[in-house]
Structure 1
Amino acid sequence: MQVHTRHTPAFGVARISLAPGEAVQAVPGTLIANSFGVTEVQQARGGLRAHGKGSPSVFTAPKEGGWVDLAPEGPGDVYPLEFDGRTGWNVAKQAFLARPSTVRVDAGWQALQALFGSDGGFLEHYSGTGPLVLACAGPVDALTIEAGELITVRPQYLLAYPDSVQCRLRALDPAGPQSIRTGDGLALDFAGPGTVLVQARKSR
């Protein structure tokens, strides 16, 4: 699976090229067009339903291969995050657009359970190899954190951070309203070295 983007960063479209028989899972309703012969099957169940996007669609190329063009529902960028099989990433739930079968969602990831407790939080953990395509509300910035450096990010702007970066979740105002599900009233503190991906506009 290869990903090429266009119309970025304001109205990003991801063209996903598939090898013969290869499949990609994507958010339903994001398909613009595809090469002839690509089939679509909507899964009966999937983690996407939990955050309001319905069950994922799976697009499979015919024996000669093919492509699909995907675009988020709203304006913004699309960003292919490449997985090397060594480092996992914690990704904002609303940012998922598409992934191959070689990139998996790790339900019940221990580090996220430690971050959020028993409640389902606003992040998911992914691992594997290949590109995970993210839908972003604005252009993507990669914030490089040096060893010993600390930064704070608001959850609504966070896209992803690798397992190698240390993270702490805290309340902006302990007496104010907070939501583990949306990140409202919360902040994330990160310690380097590493890179944190953020979007230049708040997620919808």
Structure 2
Amino acid sequence: MNIQVLYKPSYSVAKVNLSSGESIKAEAGALMSMSSHIQMQTSKAQAGGIFKSLKAAFLGGESFWMNTFSASQSGEVLLAPTLPGDIEKLELNGTIFIQSSSFLAAKPEIDIDTKFQGLKGFFSGESLFFLKLSGSGPVLISSYGGIEVLDVEGEFIVDTGHIVAFEEGLQYEITKFGGWKSFFLGGEGLVARFKGRGRLWLQSRNVPTLGAWFRSELPPRKE
């Protein structure tokens, strides 16, 4: 399998070249195009049974279904995320946590589960769960905006809307930013306080903030 990320750093597309017998699984709706001899099979998002699939779909924010693209002979698949931004290819060898909307594709053998974010994640407007990916092989993550990669050692504070992914060596706590005045009036909500050692991927734009801006621009509702 050979993966190229085209059109970086914005409006990126992943070009996946598959040899005969190779496959890749992707988030539902990610297909842009594919060779005529690539077969697509739609299945439950999790290999661990229907309960695990329901957990990812309704609690993790991910689609209940995923598409697996398999090559009967060499061909290509183009995959594109929903939001305008970048794509990063990771070579997973262990465990990583990914914001639910940032998962794009992975090798089929990689296991996908969910991680509870805590009650404060609900009030932040973010997903209650991160996706937990474990195994070895290529993983594609996507962002809204550009991707910043940080190597954290110690403690680091991140707005929850800018988290894309983080390695298993990092632990986090969801807290409010500053005092209550800053929380309600300063435009900053809840943040994740990361501690430990590991790599952290951030996105330069914030989806909840975009949604709030759109709502503010809508005309007043007529009674």
TM-score normalised by length of structure 1: 0.79
Matched residue type, 1:28? A
- 1:39-63 per-residue CA deviation (whole Å, 9 max, x = no partner) reads 112225654643264521111111x
Distance 1:101 1:36 in 2: 21
SS at match of 1:56: strand
Give, in angstroms, the shift of residue 74 of structure 1.
Answer: 2.6
1:173–1:185: 8 Å Cα contact kept in structure 2?
no
**What percent identity do the matched residue pairs reach?**
24
Name the amino acid aligned to 1:189: R
The correspondence of residues 48-197 of structure 1 with structure 2, limited to 5 A, is 49-50=57-58, 51=61, 53=63, 55-62=65-72, 64-84=73-93, 87-107=94-114, 112-113=115-116, 115-116=117-118, 121-146=128-153, 149-172=154-177, 185-197=189-201
Deviations 1:154-194 (A, max 9, x none): 11100111111232222347979x9xxxxx94211112432
Deviation track 1:101-134 (CA, whole Å, cap 9, x = no partner) reads: 1221134xxxx44x527x9723111110111111
Contact map agreement 1:136 1:203 (CA 8 A) in 2? no
Q: Which has more helix, going by share of residues? A: 2
Structure of greater Rg: 2
**RMSD of the TM alignment (CA)?**
2.7
Aligned length: 187
- Alpha-carbon distance between aligned partners in 1 of 2:113 and 2:65, rounded to the nearest angstrom: 17
Structure-2 separation of matches of 1:133 and 1:142: 14
Distance 1:65 1:140 in 2: 31
The TM-score with structure 2 as length reference comes to 0.73
Structure 2: distance between partners of 1:139 and 1:78: 9
Give CA-to-partner distance per residue, 1:66-86, whole Å, 9 cap, x none.
2200111231111112102xx
Structure 2: gaps of 5 or more residues: 47-52, 209-223
Q: What is the distance in 1 between the residues matched to 2:140 and 2:76? A: 15
Provide runs of 4+ in structure 1 moved above 6 Å. Answer: 173-176
